[in-house]
Chains A and B, each alone.
Chain A
Amino acid sequence: MNLRPDPTFHASPKLAMQAPVENYAFTVMLSSDGSQSDGIAVVDLKPDSDTYGQIVHQVIVPNKGDEFHHFGWNACSSSLSPLSGHAFLERRYLIVPGIRSSRIYIIDVKDPLKAYIHKTVEPEELFAKTGYSRPHTIHCGPEGIYVSCLGGGGEDGTDGPPGIFIMDCETFEIIGRYEMDRGKQDKHYDFWWNLPQDYMVSSEWGLPPQYENGLVPEDLLSNKYGHSIHFWDLRARKNIQTMDFGENYQMALEIRPAHDPTKSYGFCGVVVDTTNLQGAVFTWWRDDDGVWQSKKTITIDPVPADPDDLPDLLKGFGAVPPLVTDIDLSLDDKYLYVACWGLGEMHQYDVSDPMNPVLAGKVELGGIVAHHKHPNGKDFAFGPQMVEISRDGKRVYWTNSLYSTWDDQFYPNDEGGQMVMATVGEDGSFALDKDFYVDFPTGLRSHQIRLEGGDCSTDSFCYPSV
C-alpha cells in the first residue's frame, strides 16, 4: 500500500498521454508445440540505452504447454475511480493466463529487470470456483480483476457457457463468476467497458473445439464462430442487449471503446466476412434512446492470389483474406490501428469521426503471399498481429503470431517470433522504424505486448480529457 496514488495512474486519457514515455515492454513468448516453457520477455525501449530493442530479461515459467496469449495488469488508471477508489494499489503485477492449460501466473514486474513469478493459480482452483476454463482477457475494474474465459467446464470446455470471473486485486484469490444474467451469451472472447457510464461490451471467438486444434473450416463456412457482441449493465452484471452483426461476420474479436468516458461508442474488429472474405470493423454506439446500434464502417478487401502460393486452407478461394485479428485505438481516440494478419499489412485509420474512418496510413510487413520484408532487410514471419500503442500515440508496436495452431494452418512454412515498431509523426505519418526489430529466441513465438506504466488497450479512465 502506498500513501500516494501510483504515479502511473492517470485521471484522464490526456494526462496519460502527457506522462513520461515507456521504458520497457513485456511481451509474451510462447512455444508453438509445447516443447519449451512459455515466458514473458522484457524488452528495453529506452532509445539511448545500449540494450535498446533487446530482450534484457526473461521470466520463464516452470510448466510446459500453457500457451500464453493475452495478459494484463493488476491495477490501472481505473484505480482512481471516485466510486471504488483504490488509488493506493501499485501497477506492479502482470496477470498472465495460459489459454491452453488454464493456469494463471502472477508476475511481479516492479523491477522489470528482476521480474519474477509472485504466485501461480492452478487450473483446478479456476475450475472449482468458476466452472470456466481457458482464461484470456484481463481488465482491472470495480471489485477486482476481471478475466474473460473462452471455455466452460469439462474436458473440452463445452460443459456450460464460458464467461468472466473476478479475482481479488491484492491476494489474487479467485472470487467467482461475474454474470448474474448472461442472456444469449454462449461464447466469449474480449471485453471492455466505460466505468462512469457503467456499461461493458463483450465479444465472441468460438468454443475450445473450434480453435484449440486449429481453425475448423466446416464451422467457418457454416458460420458457427461468434458474430455477436453483448452489452452489459456492468454493476448489475446483466446482459442488456445482444447485437448480432450478421452470421457471415465470423469472429467478432477485439472490443475497443473510446477512452474518453464521456463518449458512448467504440469499435469491434471482425476477422472475416464469409460471403466475400473481407475483413471488417464495426462502430457501435448508444443512441439517444439508450439503445445500442452498430454499423460496418471499415471493410478491407481480399487480394486475389495463385492457389499454388496459398496454404491448403485457402487454395479453394484463390485469394488472401485480410484477416483482421487485432485492432487498437490511440488514447486520444483519434487513430485506430487494424492488423491485417493475412495480407501482411497494418492499417492506420483516422477515426476522429467514428462513423467515417479514413485510411490515413499503411505499413506492409510479412503476409501469406506478399512476404514483405522489414526495412532492415530481414524477413518477418507470419503477419502483423497483436498491436500496442504507446500512451503518447507516437510509437506503435506489434508482434506476429496469432495462435499456435492457426499460425501453422495459414503460414505452414513460417516460424519465428518478432516484435517491431512503427513511428507516428505529428502529422500522423506512419512508418516502420528500421532500427527496432526484436527477434525472439528459437522456438518461441510472440503475442500480446504490455507497456510499462500502461498502454492503449489496458488503461480505463474515470474522468474525461479536458
Chain B
Amino acid sequence: MMADVTSLTALWWAVIFSGLYHGINPGMGWPLAVSAALMERKHRALAGALAMLAFGHFLAMIAILLPFSLMLFLVEWEVEIRIAAGLLVIGMGLYLLINRRHPKYLARVHPARLALWSFLAAMAHGAGLMLVPIFLGICEISAGDTSHSAAQALMTGNIGSAFAVAMVHTLSMTFAGGAIATVIYFWLGLRFLSRTWFNLDIVWALSLIAVGCFGIYFASFGH
C-alpha cells in the first residue's frame, strides 16, 4: 500500500513536471502571449492570451485522455491497452524524430484564434500522448483491486482522473509559459525572446519515446 502511495505521488509529480516542460516550449505558445500584449498595448492581453492558450491545451489533453479512460472499461485488456498506448506514444516520438518538418496547417490559423491554435499545436506535437502512460498509471493505482470495483464506478473514476490530470497539467503548463512570457514582457524585453527560444524538437521527440517506454515497462513489470 505504501508503494502505491509513493507511485501515485510520483505520477502526479510527473503530470506537473510534464506541464512545466510543455509550458517552456515556445511551440506551445508563450511567445503568442508576449506578442498579444505588445500588439494590443495592454498588460491584460497577456493574461487573456494565456487563458486562451490554456483552454486550447486543456481541450487537447482531454481529447486524448478521455478515449483512453473509456477504453479502460475493458478491464481484462488493461495491460494490453497500456502496452498499446505506450507503443503509440513511442510511434509518435519516432514520427516526430524522422519527420522534422513543421506542420503547415498551424500557419493557416488566424492570429486571433489562440485557443484553436493551441489545441492544434498540442495535437501536432503529441502533447496529449505524452500524458497517456502517466494517466494510465494513475488510473490503475487509483482503481486498486479492479476486480471488485463496479464497472460504472471505475469508469466515473477514470473520467474524473482524466479531467484532474488535464487540469493539473494545464495549470502547470500555463504557470511555466506564463512566467517566461511575463518576465520577457515586463522586464527582459523582446531581445530575450529569441535568446530563450531553444530548439526542443529532438528533445521533445525523445521525451515521447521515453514516456512510451516507461508506460510499457510500468504496465508489464511495474505495479
Q: Is A417 an interface residue (CB 8 A)?
A: no
Q: Is A11 an interface residue (CB 8 A)?
A: yes
Cβ–Cβ < 8 Å partners of B193 in chain A: 11, 80, 463
Interface of A is mostly: loop
Interface of B is mostly: helix
Cβ–Cβ < 8 Å partners of A85 in chain B: 26-27, 31, 197
Cβ–Cβ < 8 Å partners of A2 in chain B: 199
Q: How large is the interface on B (under 10, 10 to 19, 20 to 34, 35 or more residues)?
A: 20 to 34
Q: Is B44 an interface residue (CB 8 A)?
A: no
Q: Which of B104, B106, B107, B191 has the most CB of A within 10 A?
A: B107
Q: Is B109 an interface residue (CB 8 A)?
A: yes
B190 to chain A: closest residue by CB: A11
Q: Is B102 an interface residue (CB 8 A)?
A: yes
Cβ–Cβ < 8 Å partners of B35 in chain A: 82, 196, 462-463
- Give Cα distance in the complex from A195 to B197, angstroms: 20
Tell me whether A10 and B194 are in contact (CB under 8 A).
Answer: yes
Q: Is A170 an interface residue (CB 8 A)?
A: yes
Tell me whether B31 and A82 are in contact (CB under 8 A).
Answer: yes
Cβ–Cβ < 8 Å partners of A15 in chain B: 190-191
Cβ–Cβ < 8 Å partners of B197 in chain A: 4-5, 80, 85, 87
Known: A15-B190, A463-B38. A84 touches B102 (CB 8 A): yes
Tell me whether A466 and B111 are in contact (CB under 8 A).
Answer: no
Complex interface bits, B126-163 against A, C-beta within 8 A gives 1, otherwise 0 = 00000000000000000000000000000000000000
Q: Is B32 an interface residue (CB 8 A)?
A: yes
Q: Is A291 an interface residue (CB 8 A)?
A: no
Complex interface bits, A8-24 against B, C-beta within 8 A gives 1, otherwise 0 = 01111001000000000
> Distance (Å) between the CB of B32 and the closest chain A CB?
4
The total of chain A residues at the interface (CB under 8 A) is: 35
Summed over the interface, the residue pairs from A and B with CB atoms below 8 Å come to a total of 89
Cβ–Cβ < 8 Å partners of B199 in chain A: 1-4, 87-88
Cβ–Cβ < 8 Å partners of A188 in chain B: none
Q: Is A235 an interface residue (CB 8 A)?
A: yes
> Distance (Å) between the CB of B158 and the closest chain A CB?
35
Option from A5, A87, A195, A466 in Cβ contact (under 8 Å) with B190: A466
Cβ–Cβ < 8 Å partners of A5 in chain B: 194, 197
> Distance (Å) between the CB of A80 and the closest chain B CB?
6
- Give Cα distance in the complex from A196 to B102, angstroms: 19
Q: Is B78 an interface residue (CB 8 A)?
A: no
Q: Is A144 an interface residue (CB 8 A)?
A: yes
> Distance (Å) between the CB of B191 and the closest chain A CB?
6
Known: A463-B35, A463-B193. A3 touches B198 (CB 8 A): yes
> Distance (Å) between the CB of B113 and the closest chain A CB?
10
Option from A3, A83, A170, A463 in Cβ contact (under 8 Å) with B109: A83
Tell me whether B34 and A463 are in contact (CB under 8 A).
Answer: yes
Cβ–Cβ < 8 Å partners of A86 in chain B: 102
Known: A5-B197, A82-B29. A464 touches B39 (CB 8 A): yes
Q: Is A143 an interface residue (CB 8 A)?
A: yes
- Give Cα distance in the complex from A281 to B110, angstroms: 31
A169 to chain B: closest residue by CB: B102
- Give Cα distance in the complex from A261 to B101, angstroms: 27
B194 to chain A: closest residue by CB: A5
- Give Cα distance in the complex from A197 to B109, angstroms: 12
Complex interface bits, A67-90 against B, C-beta within 8 A gives 1, otherwise 0 = 000000000000010111111100
Cβ–Cβ < 8 Å partners of B34 in chain A: 82, 463
Can you show 22 pairs from A to B with CB atoms below 8 A apart?
Answer: A2-B199, A3-B199, A4-B194, A5-B194, A10-B194, A15-B190, A80-B194, A83-B111, A83-B117, A84-B102, A84-B107, A88-B199, A88-B201, A197-B111, A198-B110, A198-B112, A235-B109, A262-B41, A463-B34, A463-B190, A466-B38, A466-B189
